[in-house]
Structure 1
């Protein structure tokens, strides 16, 4: 009888603790504002990180999954669509550097794939609170999908970075070309629309990168200082 009583008490206590933990987690995820939940995740990432690089990767992932970034990614879909449109329309209108319209066309297509992938991932992450719920590591198919997604996403990201660097070189290589066709040099010109659009697109992309890096750096510095 004593053994049964102790067993029942232990089970009841364990169930009570489990219920309490689940309730606290639900309150922390539903009752806190987004800013509080965001800073809480940053602090937890700071505690769990092994080094500054690990913390930077975790912080970057947290930032990318925020509601602000999700909305920004959705609005940014207009950029690759415009790149494809301009690239197709002015494909033959930049003989000075014919690779500029190709850069817009290819970069716009793969950029749309990248943004759609990021948008889908962010929506799923916010819906299930954790990306690992979407890809169950205990399921072989889920693990395969998780590994495949991460690998393809990394390859696509590296390709876009390399493609943007190539587009930057092609654009700056003919800085301020003739915007109208010349009679004595029929190939020494580039349409003003396609060229200036490329310049603005590259400037905006690098601007977003700089802002993201600065925000990441400030968060890392603040959390590291507070943790110490």
Structure 2
């Protein structure tokens, strides 16, 4: 069995129509736009951890850029002729943006989870800092959603690998 058998299966998948690709990109931008709006609307509403609204704004902008940049002309490889030199620049920007997003995500985790269950009530008589409930819970659940989605992708990937192995499409040596 060839070591490229699973990759041949992936290469045979037809390219979806442009309308579908555009619809997926629009859907992928909904949460980042909501993050930008929520962070901007509540910029001063979390004295307990003032970086949480900033985190939401920056991660929303970075994710929107990543969604837009991944749709540049490099998605389709030319059948004949030299490859587009713009693709290397695009790949570099995508890589830098991905590294930044991972780093920023780690920082956001520290800012959000370190104050878990903050004081949600702005009380003039109390000196205890607060964090707006809507802002905090939005940041908490959008960050937790990333862990849920990654876990689902890992589980799905393992199921696909087991299925490929059980159906004889892959050998254990293919992944070493």
TM over 0.5: yes
Match of 2:153 in 1: 212
Deviation at 1:96, TM superposition (A): 0.4
Match of 2:32 in 1: 80
Deviation at 1:111, TM superposition (A): 0.9
Identify the match of residue 5 of structure 2 among 47, 53, 64.
47
Higher helix share: 1
Match of 1:138 in 2: 82
Match of 1:203 in 2: 144
Match of 2:110 in 1: 169
Q: Distance in 2 between matches of 1:174 and 1:166?
A: 13
Q: Distance in 2 between matches of 1:45 and 1:74?
A: 36
Q: Distance in 1 between matches of 2:69 and 2:12?
A: 16
Equivalences for residues 19-98 of structure 1 within 5 A: 46-47=4-5, 70=21, 71-98=23-50
Deviation at 1:206, TM superposition (A): 1.6
Q: Distance in 2 between matches of 1:93 and 1:100?
A: 10
- Contact persistence 1:46–1:223 (CA under 8 A): no
What per-residue deviation string (whole Å, max 9, x for no partner) do you get for residues 129-167 of structure 1?
A: xx2229x7725xx1x211111111111112112211111
> Tell me, which stretches of 5 or more residues in structure 2 are unaligned?
172-176
Q: Distance in 1 between matches of 2:117 and 2:32?
A: 24
Q: Distance in 2 between matches of 1:170 and 1:181?
A: 19
Cα-Cα RMSD: 3.3
Identify the match of residue 102 of structure 1 among 36, 54, 58.
54
Deviation at 1:45, TM superposition (A): 8.1
205-214 or 106-115, larger mean C-alpha shift: 205-214
Q: Secondary structure of the equivalent of 1:179?
A: coil
Compare CA radii of gyration and give the structure with the larger one.
Answer: 1
> Tell me, which stretches of 5 or more residues in structure 1 are unaligned?
1-43, 50-54, 126-130
Q: Distance in 2 between matches of 1:112 and 1:156?
A: 11
Say how many residue pairs are matched: 164
C-alpha change, 1:172 and 1:99, in structure 2 (3 Å) is: same
TM-score, normalised via structure 2 length: 0.78
Q: Which has the higher contact order (CA 8 A, sep 6+)?
A: 2
- Contact persistence 1:179–1:192 (CA under 8 A): yes
Q: Distance in 2 between matches of 1:181 and 1:161?
A: 32
Deviation at 1:176, TM superposition (A): 0.6
TM-score, normalised via structure 1 length: 0.61
Q: Distance in 1 between matches of 2:6 and 2:81?
A: 20
